[in-house]
Amino acid sequence: MSIYEELNVPRVINCAGKMTYLGSSVLREEVMEAMNEAGASFVSIDELMLRAGEKAAELCGAEAGMVTAGASAGIIAAVAGVITGGDPLLTEQVPHPKTNKRKVILQKGHAIYFSAPMTQMIAIGGGIPEEVGTVSKTLPYHIENSIDEDTAAIMYAQSHHAVQTDMVPLDKVIEIAHKKGVPVLVDAAAEEDMQKYVKMGADIVIYSGAKAFEGPTSGFIVGRKCYIEMCRQQTKGVCR
Ligand SMILES: *Cc1c(COP(=O)(O)O)cnc(C)c1O
């Protein structure tokens, strides 16, 4: 009897794509083999996390990386990281860190729903989401004018869920943000290209391990070393 017969869960034919509600992806053969091998030993999880993060960074051409429980957890880690700066007390206070610099700007067409709202993930990370522009049009001045001293980051959704037309493109968002010293976080959860967004200058790029890469429920974030170090501290907080 198969495990799904035993649980009385009918199998389905997937004609929809990498959908969370269908189990995202079926595991690649190499992934199953690696999981079997890795699961048979005890290791230092701190060391494993560091090495796995380095591996992810290497594949993405990034300075540093960190493994997370999923892309959603990656969004939370990224937001909590840049808001707390890795400070231990603020890290323990997330999702209500006692700092004023908590605003996370996103274009209205990027306030997506991926079986959960993007804005909720930002809030769990301690961010206060501020949607700018309109669903059918957002212009650079909408973003520029919303950046103030309380702004912690700009979140950019690189996703088929997002509005595809008349949003400010990523290269422009990065230019605006960096002119004001604000980091750009890119949710590239389901994207296949592991290098493009790092190369464009995004500060943190968030991937799901279960979508394009056909792994189990998992994720990773890559980007600039100073920011990834801040995110790493969140394993002593919301990313536990
Ligand atoms: C699927 C998806 C997520 C969530 O990814 P998980 O790894 O399932 O947590 C986040 N953002 C986007 C754009 C997605 O497509």
Q: Which amino acid is at 128?
A: I
What is the structure's pLDDT at 21? 87
CA of 113 to the centre of ligand 1 (A): 9
Q: How confident is the model at residue 43, as a pLDDT?
A: 97
Residue 1 has pLDDT above 90, yes or no: no
Q: What is the pLDDT of residue 220?
A: 98
Residue with CA nearest ligand 1 atom 5: 71
Burial of 5 (0-12, 13-18, 19+ CB in 10 A): exposed
Q: What is the pLDDT of residue 209?
A: 94
Digit-coded pLDDT (tens) for 80-127: 999 999 999 999 999 999 999 999 999 999 999 999 999 999 999 999
Ligand 1 centroid distance, CA of 208 (Å) = 6
| Span 59-74, average pLDDT | 97
**Ligand 1 midpoint to CA 190 (Å):** 7
Mean pLDDT of 196-218: 95
Please tell me the distance between residue 86's alpha carbon and the centre of ligand 1 in angstroms. Answer: 24
Q: What is the pLDDT of residues 123-170, one digit of tens each?
A: 999 999 999 999 999 999 999 999 999 999 999 999 999 999 999 999
What's the confidence (pLDDT) of residue 60? 98
Q: What is the mean pLDDT of residues 61-89?
A: 98
**For position 108, what pLDDT does the model report?**
98
Residue 1 CA to ligand 1 center (angstroms) comes to 32
Q: Ligand 1 center to residue 209 CA distance, Å?
A: 9
pLDDT at 186: 98
- Compute CA 27 distance to the chain's CA centroid, rounded to the nearest angstrom: 21
Ligand 1 mutation pick, 114, 119, 161, 170, max ligand atoms within 8 A of CB? 114
Ligand 1 centroid, distance to 89 Cα (angstroms): 29
- Count the neighbouring beta carbons within 10 Å of the beta carbon of residue 180: 13
* Residue to mutate (ligand 1; options 79, 159, 161; most atoms within 8 A of CB): 159
Amino acid in the structure at residue 165:
T
pLDDT tens string 12-40 = 999 988 888 898 888 889 999 999 999 99
How far apart CA 15 and CA 167 sit, in angstroms, is 29
Q: What is the mean pLDDT of residues 166-176?
A: 98
Q: Are 208 and 157 spatial neighbours (Cβ–Cβ below 8 Å)?
A: no
Closest CA to 176 of 147, 155, 133: 147
Whole-number pLDDT of residue 23: 87
Higher pLDDT, 26 or 180: 180
Q: What is the pLDDT of residue 18?
A: 83
**Average pLDDT, stretch 167-180?**
98
Q: Would you state the pLDDT for residue 34? A: 93
Q: Which residues line ligand 1 (CB under 6 A)?
A: 20, 70-72, 114, 157, 159, 161, 187, 189-190, 208, 210-211, 219
Instruction: Please give the order of strands across the beta sheet that includes 103-107.
Output: 64-68, 219-223, 204-208, 184-187, 151-157, 103-107, 128-132
Work out which ligand 1 atom sits closest to the CA atom of 209: 7
Task: Provide the pLDDT for residue 107.
Answer: 98
